[in-house]
Amino acid sequence: MKKEPIYHISFWLAYLILWSAQDFVYFKDYFSVMLLNIFTVLPLLAIVYFNLYFLLPKFLFKKRYLVYVLFLCASIVAATYISSWNHQFYFTNIIHNVGIGNFFMSSEGKLAQLTEILVLMGLSMSIFLLRDRYTKEKVLEEAKKRQLEVELKLLKEQMNPHFLFNSLNSIYMMLDKHPGKGKEMLLRFSDILSHQLYESTEDSIALKKELENVKNYINIESIRHGSLATINVDCIDYSGKLNISPMILLPIIENAFKHSPSGSPYYITIFINLTTENRLILNVENSKVFKPVQKASGIGLANVKRRLELIYPKKYELYIDDIEKKFKITLKITLDD
């Protein structure tokens, strides 16, 4: 059930109670006072809703300011005269107090009614416009959130086939050259595939699981590259409760193996640590054959950069150092408890 009608009813009940409480000081006939306020609030109610649901959307929101002001002024004048006449009729014919009835038809009486109408109009417009702004901002925020969720899903779907293709290609080549090592790679790859199918689709997973996946991948690549590669790994053994977005670390490590020299000795150094402030640090460095610029904007790294922007805004640092014979990436992420 929508709550908006409840808010409107509550507003008008509060308005009636407020004005009735003031009138009770002068008139002890409580029923007559309540009847008077209900009777005289009708033109006020009419002009308020005429303004909120017709004049505002029809003219003000469409920037037809002059027409809006003219209609609003005419409505206020009409409401002032109708409200004054209502008071005069009520006091003269029901309360039988001609003096008070005539007061409401005087300039002072009309000014009192005009003041009440202006205060009520200002209050109602303020509430309406603030609530309208809040609603629009909330809708916009929800739309942005849905857009980010769709983008993250697409990025993840784009990244997983890319990673799986590279891994399967490595296993295929090893099975052809060294079947024994190829089988060992295939067993480790099954763990990675299980991680891909059942865990990487989540928004976040246990950091412990992500580190296990990273280690499995490094073992696969170590077998594939054999004696040509000097692979130094320093990775924390973590068993705590911190979570991390899946597949954030792996593409960076994959990039080091992918861009290492082919057919000649090379090194890869991987360092993963966690500070006491829950700041995860990943340093990956690999040697490379000299090129003017090593392309670092493929699917994997470009994907990681965008996901970091979306998932860890203002909570990460990413540095890429591409020099003559070395390529180094440093990632620092502050993880939430």
CA distance 1 to 283: 54
Kindly list the domain boundaries of the chain, sorted by start residue. 4-105, 146-334
CATH topology of domain 146-334: Heat Shock Protein 90 (3.30.565)
Q: Render pLDDT for 21-75 as a digit per residue (tens, 0 to 9).
A: 766 666 666 676 677 777 778 888 888 999 998 999 999 888 899 999 999 999 9
> What is the pLDDT, as a whole number, of residue 223?
78
CA distance 126 to 210: 51
Q: Render pLDDT for 132-176 as a digit per residue (tens, 0 to 9).
A: 888 888 888 887 777 766 666 665 555 556 567 767 777 787 788
Mean pLDDT of the chain: 81
239 and 275 in contact (C-beta within 8 Å)? no
Q: Per residue in 9-31, is it b (16+ CB within 10 Å) or e — as a string?
A: eeeeeebeeebbeeeeeeeeeee
> What is the pLDDT, as a whole number, of residue 297?
46
> What is the pLDDT, as a whole number, of residue 294?
46
Tokens (6 digits) for 251: 């593409």
Label the pairing between strands 266-274 and 229-235: parallel
More confident residue, 143 or 112: 112
